[in-house]
Structure 1
Amino acid sequence: MASNGVISITAPELLCPIVSAIGKSMQCYYATGAMVIWHRDRADEVIPAALQPTDGKYFIQVLVQAPKAGAYTLIGKLNGKPITLPTPIPIEPTSLTGTSEIVLLYSKLPWGFGGVVTWDLAEASGDLTQTQTKIEVYALASPLPSFFHDRGIPLDLLRTRWYMDAWRISVKTDWVEFVVERLFDDSRMEYEVFSGASRYTDFAPPSASSSLDADIICWIELWLSDMEGLFARKDTTTKYSVNCYDVAVIAWVLISLGRSYTKLNLAYLKPYGFLNPAALIGRKETDPTALAKNPTSLCNNPFYGGVGAPKTMLCGRFDLNRSAFGNHMFVLLQKAASPTDAEMPYVLDACAGPQTGSLQVVDYVKTCIDLDPSLYSSPPKSHASTPGAFSNIQPYQGVSDLAISTSFLRNFLDVPKDTLFDLFLTEFKNQGGSLQVPFVGSGATKDSVVATYTYTPEKLSLADKDETVTFNFYRFESDYGMQAAFLSRKRRMGTKPFEYSSSDIANPICNGGLRVFYKTPLKILVTIDTAEATSVSDPMNAWAKSVHRVLDQLRKVEDIYRPSLSIVIPPKSVAIGSTIPIGLEIQPTRKGWWRGYSAVVSNGAALLMKASINDQDDISFEFLALKVGLASIKITLVGPNLDRRYLKWAVVITDK
């Protein structure tokens, strides 16, 4: 006879898909109707679920079995604390089972919990049956941005220790304020103080003809990879350089989990001018003399690492070399100061300040910008010739999509010989230090693929500073796209860059460096970022020479034959709610070639549920048909040279 207690737990309706993909075989957790998230026949399997609210409440359905018929009460506890109200559950005399919808307890959005839940099934007489189950459920803002519905929310985002886990136990009740403060205090990020280069978004300063509704992509999984690690982080001290664009888009995405994205905008201000003293994300005065004069590490000189600028965060107000912001990005939140007031835009800035939502945007300029006219009469920098004004603030809709990294689960060291990944790994494995698993994803422009490596050099002495080196390899579809990206980066360097050649440049000498170069035959552009080493220092030159050697070798072997595909063609039409299978049988010419992929479906008509690869390198995809109409499916396979293979299908989805 089956044991008494909980048989299954079901989410009656889901808000959106949850996807697990970073460094793993891709799995999507979603159903168009109810979804069983735990069953005693699969007791160790946990299926995460984002619950759809009903009248502001979040329910799960629990099916139980009891020793005899009668009136029972069920309550769930996690770590000894109730997560449900005591709920009546009648037990039928024939089946000795009963089902009840149970309200989950929560105090603030967003919330989620996961772990072992103890269920007490109590009979009116006092007899008690206990069952332990596993559960992982989330309650989020509704509505969510469309990209979460189309692609799914990365499970790693919901499991972030510094954000979601910390929020769960925080005494704070304002999610927006909490996110801004946690971002600002995140020790893994620091402001990039030599040129303001971005890392986690493709946003570029608009031209006069640019649309304010232009797509803004957030590389949320690259950020998660840097913060949490593709697998397990080897350290907790590595810092990543960010600029205001990065911080704004990450804040926008995080805030949208607990506050409706319809109340959020991104704001771009140009010109900006000189910064009133404020704190900068991740930055502290390091010089003991400067720190004694500036114990709170306020900054009015944000590019103090740049050539010619004072080398302290806080310099003389009228210092002729004081640096300024050319432009700035932050988040706007529409809210009312009181229930009787109209909604107004308030500033959220986790980069400089920070601003946590108490400052109205109309007051931003006079509060945050040094407006003294005498500073701008003889400006030390051309981009500080005019201070910003309220009329210069341009609102954007917000983040339009996420750049998703989807890698097949493979051994990092097991790559095809003489490919980019193999040559780079071979070049650096004998140099000491630690090379992390690469992030492979869609690039910062629509026609590129990128591989990002983070390298921590070996410290040769105790006096050596901790260093983080980031290598980005961008492969483009055309020489034009590659050279346009190169020129864009060259313009961003502001002052005239140091030129090794017409295709190899570095930012001027400063704390932290940037090297950019490309190889025309390969259509590959490389950037090397350092936290400490200058752009023309011996370490930077040595790392750049190593990469040049890799690319020179790749030029000689790049025409190596790629494996061909035999395609298991999907059906021409399926009913809504059905699975759309696609199979790719890889010819065994070079095992282990395809390293990752991306999958895009038009209009959210279908959802990628699973992607896997077997021991013979055969690849299978499963899509769930969601909307009646034509589903245009595009799959892009990525190889170890950042080469791509495009595959397209059209499937008609019917209502029955």
Structure 2
Amino acid sequence: MEFGEPVNVPVAASAELKEWKLRAEILEVGFKGPIKVSRGKALISAPHWKKGEDVNDVWTDARKMGLPQEAGYSKKAAAMLIEGAAGSVKDVEVKIHVLEAENVSGEGDLLGRLGDLEITAKIPLGAGEHTVTAQLKKLPEKISWYRSSIAWEVSFAEPGGCIVLGGTDVEVFFIPAVPIIPFTSHVWAEALRFLCNRIGVVGLKTPKEVCEKIARYCHTGHGLEYDTLQGAPHYGDPNAREFQLNDYMKGEDPECCCYDQASAVQVFAAALGVNSQWLFLNPFGFIHTTNLVGVGACNNPFYRSNGSDKVVLPRDPKRTSFGNHAFVGMNSKILDACAGPQVGTETLQEYIDSSIDPDPALYPMIGERPGMASDIAVFPPVTSLV
């Protein structure tokens, strides 16, 4: 980056009127805190910007995900916690090189501006390299995503002046909690970008807001269609607790099932530190007419298997049912990105009542019956991402 240039060149207010000279440059910038971020599944280490390194990330998968390929992404993306989150810190480590200091001494005030954020620190004005722990004056209060250049300057009171140091390109996410399984070791920068851009979580804060947004997007905004032939998983093995997140974000397979959708909701929420449960109801039963993902109004989810229609009469012999069904629970409310969508407004029993057709005439086999709350099983969270 360029050396500092004076904004103005005052002279010392003394009898000798000595001119001052100060030249400096930023060498490194690193965001502190408990969140580890990865890119291409490789852990990113601080600093998040370093002089001489090209951090511009031309993300080739972005277009497949419906995102711009070049949009200020960084190979060294960072993530911090929002204001009030447990474990949040405001520390930003900055290494500065004072190249020349003439008739300037003591400490100066370092200021970095990143959008509406300000980063401040006191720095020594003596020649040499100095590493300081700067502070964000105020953390964002809601989920935020910054991908821009921090504009730096140094000012000083004696003899009085200011120089600009140029910019350092960064990408920083501010999220409401430390990511959880499957992101305990590191959260994917790609997943955070997808959440911020495609799903639209920027400006949200609470788990309820986040989960509602995710469930609505996965159901309505992602463009997948329910597998009405077999209802088979298309994005990983639910029994192995595996999910093909990268393929899901790209929509590599146009079809999905309830297992895929439950995994997607839980994994995206986990990237923002929101805890949820992967729930499995077996048996489930015949469904009331609902908005089935990518299909629309439907009470006959496997109509392609027998050449019938999406919506049939309640006791039509060709009417098909869900043998079982997966969905997500969060704070005792239900999220379902397969049918509905359900966005956290109903309890489990309310969800069962609104989703399953209880007509006994539909369950003629001995022992066959619709699902009940007592049948619910809680599966471990997705642990393997591919």
Within the alignment, does 1:20 sit opposite 2:34 as a pair?
A: no
Aligned to 2:333: 346
Aligned residues: 334
Aligned to 1:332: 329
**Superposition deviation, residue 94 in structure 1:** 4.5
Whether the 8 Å contact between 1:175 and 1:259 is mirrored in structure 2 is no
Aligned to 2:179: 144
Whether the 8 Å contact between 1:118 and 1:130 is mirrored in structure 2 is yes
**For 1:58 and 1:360, how far apart are their aligned partners in 2?**
38
Aligned to 1:38: 49
Aligned-residue Cα RMSD (Å) equals 3.1
**Superposition deviation, residue 147 in structure 1:** 4.2
**Superposition deviation, residue 114 in structure 1:** 2.5
**Superposition deviation, residue 401 in structure 1:** 2.1
Within the alignment, does 1:178 sit opposite 2:165 as a pair?
A: no
Aligned residue identity for 1:251:
V
Worse-superposed segment, 391-400 or 324-333 = 391-400
Aligned to 2:382: 399
**Superposition deviation, residue 51 in structure 1:** 4.3
**Superposition deviation, residue 300 in structure 1:** 1.4
Counterpart among 258, 270, 282 of residue 272 in structure 2? 258
**For 2:264 and 2:363, how far apart are their aligned partners in 1?**
33
**Superposition deviation, residue 389 in structure 1:** 0.9
Within the alignment, does 1:63 sit opposite 2:95 as a pair?
A: yes
Aligned residue identity for 1:330:
F
**Superposition deviation, residue 267 in structure 1:** 0.7
Aligned residue identity for 1:38:
W
Within the alignment, does 1:29 sit opposite 2:40 as a pair?
A: no
**Superposition deviation, residue 185 in structure 1:** 1.8
Change (3 A) 1:126 1:88: same
Whether the 8 Å contact between 1:330 and 1:349 is mirrored in structure 2 is yes
Whether the 8 Å contact between 1:18 and 1:50 is mirrored in structure 2 is no
**For 1:167 and 1:74, how far apart are their aligned partners in 2?**
33
Within the alignment, does 1:216 sit opposite 2:241 as a pair?
A: yes
Aligned to 1:359: 346
**Superposition deviation, residue 268 in structure 1:** 0.5
**Superposition deviation, residue 58 in structure 1:** 4.3
**For 2:88 and 2:188, how far apart are their aligned partners in 1?**
24
Structure 1 residues 320-367: Cα deviation after superposition (integer angstroms, max 9, x where no partner): 222211110001112xxxxxxxxxx21111111111111111322112
**Superposition deviation, residue 71 in structure 1:** 3.4
Whether the 8 Å contact between 2:258 and 2:338 is mirrored in structure 1 is yes
Counterpart among 39, 43, 48 of residue 77 in structure 2? 48
**Superposition deviation, residue 184 in structure 1:** 1.1
Change (3 A) 1:374 1:400: same
Aligned to 2:190: 156
Whether the 8 Å contact between 2:80 and 2:88 is mirrored in structure 1 is no
Within the alignment, does 1:298 sit opposite 2:327 as a pair?
A: no
**Superposition deviation, residue 190 in structure 1:** 1.1
Whether the 8 Å contact between 2:233 and 2:256 is mirrored in structure 1 is yes
**Superposition deviation, residue 369 in structure 1:** 1.0
Structure 1 residues 511-552: Cα deviation after superposition (integer angstroms, max 9, x where no partner): xxxxxxxxxxxxxxxxxxxxxxxxxxxxxxxxxxxxxxxxxx
Aligned to 2:149: 116
**For 1:326 and 1:176, how far apart are their aligned partners in 2?**
26
**For 2:187 and 2:260, how far apart are their aligned partners in 1?**
19
Aligned to 2:233: 198
Q: Summarize the alignment of residues 615-630 of structure 1 with structure 2, pairs less than 5 Å apart.
A: none
**For 1:10 and 1:168, how far apart are their aligned partners in 2?**
26
**For 2:178 and 2:165, how far apart are their aligned partners in 1?**
37
Aligned residue identity for 2:271:
L
Q: Summarize the alignment of residues 457-468 of structure 1 with structure 2, pairs less than 5 Å apart.
A: none
Aligned to 2:287: 275
Paired residue secondary structure (2:134): strand
Change (3 A) 1:383 1:190: farther
Aligned residue identity for 1:307:
N
**Superposition deviation, residue 135 in structure 1:** 0.9
Whether the 8 Å contact between 1:267 and 1:394 is mirrored in structure 2 is yes
Change (3 A) 1:96 1:327: closer
Change (3 A) 1:8 1:143: closer
**For 1:280 and 1:321, how far apart are their aligned partners in 2?**
18
Within the alignment, does 1:387 sit opposite 2:370 as a pair?
A: yes
Paired residue secondary structure (2:246): helix
**For 1:169 and 1:217, how far apart are their aligned partners in 2?**
24
Change (3 A) 1:94 1:64: closer
Change (3 A) 1:94 1:155: closer
Identity of aligned residues (%): 22
**For 2:78 and 2:366, how far apart are their aligned partners in 1?**
49
Paired residue secondary structure (1:7): strand
Paired residue secondary structure (2:111): strand
Aligned to 2:21: none
Paired residue secondary structure (1:358): coil
**For 1:300 and 1:167, how far apart are their aligned partners in 2?**
28
**Superposition deviation, residue 392 in structure 1:** 1.1
Paired residue secondary structure (1:36): coil
User: Structure 1, unaligned stretches of length 5 or more?
Assistant: 22-26, 205-214, 228-238, 284-296, 335-344, 405-656
Paired residue secondary structure (1:198): coil
Aligned residue identity for 1:276:
H
Paired residue secondary structure (1:178): helix
Aligned to 2:62: none
**For 1:48 and 1:94, how far apart are their aligned partners in 2?**
30
Q: Summarize the alignment of residues 486-525 of structure 1 with structure 2, pairs less than 5 Å apart.
A: none
Q: Could you say which structure has the greater relative contact order, defined with CA pairs below 8 angstroms and 6 or more residues apart?
A: 2
Aligned residue identity for 1:42:
E
Aligned residue identity for 2:44:
Y
**Superposition deviation, residue 242 in structure 1:** 0.1
Aligned residue identity for 1:41:
G
Paired residue secondary structure (2:298): coil
Aligned to 1:210: none
Q: Summarize the alignment of residues 77-88 of structure 1 with structure 2, pairs less than 5 Å apart.
A: 77=114, 81-84=115-118, 87-88=120-121
User: What is the TM-score when the length of structure 2 is the normalising length?
Assistant: 0.75
Aligned residue identity for 1:265:
Q
**For 1:256 and 1:383, how far apart are their aligned partners in 2?**
41
**For 1:225 and 1:168, how far apart are their aligned partners in 2?**
16
Structure 1 residues 59-87: Cα deviation after superposition (integer angstroms, max 9, x where no partner): 3222345664443251322xxx32335x2
Aligned residue identity for 2:315:
F
Q: Summarize the alignment of residues 371-450 of structure 1 with structure 2, pairs less than 5 Å apart.
A: 371-377=358-364, 385-402=368-385, 404=386
Aligned residue identity for 2:142:
K
**Superposition deviation, residue 252 in structure 1:** 0.8
Whether the 8 Å contact between 1:122 and 1:128 is mirrored in structure 2 is yes
